[in-house]
Amino acid sequence: AKTYTEEDAKQYLNKLNAELLQHSNMAAIAEWAYASNITDETLQNKLKVAADTARFQKEAWKETVKYPWTTYKDPNVRRQFKKLSVLGAAALPEDKYEKLDKIVSDMQNVYSTAKICDFKNREKCDLNLEPELTLLLAKSRDPEELKHVWAEFRKEAGDKVRKQFVQYVELTNEAARLNNFSDASEEWVKDYESAEFRNQIQELWLQLRPLYEQIHAYVRRRLNEQYGDAVVKKDGLIPAHLLGNMWSQTWGNVYDISTPYPGKQPVDATSAMVEKGFDAIKMFKMSEEFFTSLNLSAMPDTFWQRSILKKPEGRSLICHASAWDFYDGEDFRIKQCTQVTMEQLLVAHHEMGHVQYFLQYKNQPASYRDGANPGFHEAVGDTIALSVSTPKHLRKVGLLPADSKDDPQSELNYLYNMGLEKIAFLPFGYLMDLWRWDVFKGKTSPDNYNCEWWRLRQEYQGIEAPVDRSEDNFDPGSKYHTIASVPYIRYFVSYVIQFQFHAALCEKAGQFDPKDPERMPLHQCDIYQSKEAGNLFGKMLSLGSSKPWPEAMEIVTGQRKMDASGLMAYFRPLLKWLEEENKKTGEKIGWDASAPRHG
């Protein structure tokens, strides 16, 4: 019989690694072909290649688990076997695997091709989420038009996939149990490698909730001024359609109707980008240049040849922005239906952060080609974008008027605008998987999917639906990650740790001193062209998932915990101002959890 010594195991890992990369490359090519051009044949090809890959993974797994890897001495060998011993969805019988893959593909198709009729011109019925509905929700100040867009999209997207989603939950849980998890929620948090992870997240939310309640109270007051009591009550829940975003997850698009100090220098570079003739390529070239200024990697030629950076005409595709690793060390791509706006410039940096991570760990073995944990992968680009967003940096690159200066009121406006992106997001980033964890555990059953969703939206975000909701609706399914089976707590983690990374890199760049934060405020820091900061970041990025994430965290920040210190330091001046302002206007902070439901 074959022996399974540690030496044998190392040989086995080398052989298996090459095969895994080869299959991952083929699977990525087939997935890209479908996501960038949705047709019956690209779907069939994707399902076939995925089934072949699953068959290979299952065969490999049967061999992998024969190795007594927990007895091996080399922690690196043990760690690779630990990761390779979780087979994932490929553990399902082949017919069920294909059924699950088809369901998720079809749900993405429904979501990505959903179209509605225009509010004003009911004959025009070809409005897509990107770019038309996104633009309407950002720019319209007509509550009735906003309500129409909000409700009609949900009819065409989430409501249409409710039945498939129920089957998706059953199959995903079946796969998790075949991997010895009690349900899919346990498998979804495994990469955080801590039994305390969900408690840590809850602790962070309790620490950050006061900050959220302050900005919520201020925005509610400004929306009440804008739209009146009949549309927005002064002390209740904020109707979801007024917040400038299809999911009310970031509120940057209501900055211009809630500016603390109007008439000061702009904080948004969109008009300058349009004026200077920016296009998608220029936005991504600008992002690449920031990374190379840090002594991090440029994009390989194939990136510019094969990425899709503008929405192609005349075909269906998944527009939701994504970054792709093709696991051959050369082929890395982004697919983004880019619009020329500041918000999209930041999304471009977000996606380029993913590709930078791919590039930094491209020599790691297959099982280590991931973020230290999924939150790390989401935090790379956003960390850089915290520097890019500063008025100082935007002036330096000619995207804000050079003569503008950083007077206290302009600074507050800037911090408020950042708060509308980063603080407003926190409860949404948390509740997405609070809802799904309970669905996978069976605590939330199909007959109260939507009721539970709106209970969480009310409890955590203090928002409500602008029109009546029932179990005929399926609003969670109108969010991409729900129907694409992409976990979401990674973004909550990212929005916390990106400020820890920013504080540490700013310190390294000599732009922040935690012992004297007043001297150089963290929100003014721009690490542009700091090779010291870039080298420190690169040291962590190159590890991939080869070490437990606290070790990766320690490389950058000198300590091993995920904590709110960076975020609180960054927003301290804003919190102080919001508390004073809300006290001055006598705002009620928070909302009644049992406030009567709208409509």
Ligand X SMILES: C=C(C[SeH])C(=O)N1CCC[C@H]1C(=O)O
When asked if residue 376 is in the footprint of ligand X (CB under 6 A), the reply is no
What tokens appear for 426 in the block? 């926190």
In sequence order, the β-bridge partners of residue 325 are 332
When asked if residue 370 is in the footprint of Zn ion (CB under 5 A), the reply is no
When asked if residue 321 is in the footprint of ligand X (CB under 6 A), the reply is yes
Is 313 a catalytic site residue?
no
Q: Is the bond into 401 cis (omega within 30 degrees of 0)?
A: no
When asked if residue 331 is in the footprint of Zn ion (CB under 5 A), the reply is no
Report the alpha-carbon distance of residue 83 to residue 78 in Å, rounded.
9
Report the alpha-carbon distance of residue 551 to residue 540 in Å, rounded.
9
What tokens appear for 290 in the block? 């920031």
Cβ(162)–Cβ(483) below 8 Å: no
Distance in Å, CB of 498 to ligand X, minimum: 11
Distance in Å, CB of 569 to ligand X, minimum: 22
When asked if residue 152 is in the footprint of Zn ion (CB under 5 A), the reply is no
Distance in Å, CB of 106 to Zn ion, minimum: 23
Q: Which of 63, 132, 186, 481 does the annotation list as catalytic?
A: 481
* Nearest residue (CB) to ligand X, 424 versus 556: 424
Strand, helix or coil for residue 193 = coil
Site string for ligand X, 454-493 (x = CB under 6 A): -------------------------------------x--
Half-sphere exposure of residue 407, counting CA atoms within 13 Å on the CB side? 8
Cβ(105)–Cβ(34) below 8 Å: yes
User: Which residues inside 239-258 make contact with ligand X, applying CB under 6 A?
Assistant: 249
The single-letter code of the amino acid at 468 is: D
Strand, helix or coil for residue 567 = helix
Which of Zn ion, ligand X, none binds 185 (CB below 5-8 Å, type-dependent)? Answer: none
Q: Which of 44, 23, 18 is nearest to 33 (CA)?
A: 44
When asked if residue 212 is in the footprint of ligand X (CB under 6 A), the reply is no
Distance in Å, CB of 110 to ligand X, minimum: 18
Which of Zn ion, ligand X, none binds 436 (CB below 5-8 Å, type-dependent)? Answer: none
Q: Which of 351, 411, 464, 507 does the annotation list as catalytic?
A: 351
When asked if residue 350 is in the footprint of ligand X (CB under 6 A), the reply is yes
Distance in Å, CB of 587 to ligand X, minimum: 28
Which of Zn ion, ligand X, none binds 491 (CB below 5-8 Å, type-dependent)? Answer: ligand X
Determine which residue in the list 127, 294, 347, 439 makes contact with ligand X, applying CB under 6 A: 347
Distance in Å, CB of 350 to Zn ion, minimum: 5
Residue recorded with tokens 């010895």: 180
When asked if residue 430 is in the footprint of ligand X (CB under 6 A), the reply is no
* Nearest residue (CB) to ligand X, 185 versus 249: 249
Distance in Å, CB of 429 to ligand X, minimum: 7
**Please, what is the angle between helix 342-360 and helix 374-388, to 10°?**
130
When asked if residue 378 is in the footprint of Zn ion (CB under 5 A), the reply is yes
Half-sphere exposure of residue 549, counting CA atoms within 13 Å on the CB side? 19
* Nearest residue (CB) to ligand X, 249 versus 297: 249
Rg (alpha carbons) of the chain, rounded to whole number:
24
Q: Which of 444, 437, 377 is nearest to 186 (CA)?
A: 437
* Nearest residue (CB) to ligand X, 350 versus 393: 350
Which of ligand X, Zn ion, none binds 347 (CB below 5-8 Å, type-dependent)? Answer: ligand X
In sequence order, the β-bridge partners of residue 464 are 239
Is 378 a catalytic site residue?
no
* Nearest residue (CB) to Zn ion, 375 versus 419: 375
**Please, what is the angle between helix 342-360 and helix 531-541, to 10°?**
60
Report the alpha-carbon distance of residue 375 to residue 524 in Å, rounded.
24
Residues 6+ apart with CB under 8 A from 14: none
* Nearest residue (CB) to ligand X, 51 versus 340: 340
* Nearest residue (CB) to Zn ion, 260 versus 381: 381
Q: Which of 491, 429, 431 is nearest to 457 (CA)?
A: 431
Catalytic residues: 351, 481
What is the binding site for ligand X (CB under 6 A)? Answer: 249, 321-322, 347, 350, 491
What is the binding site for Zn ion (CB under 5 A)? Answer: 378
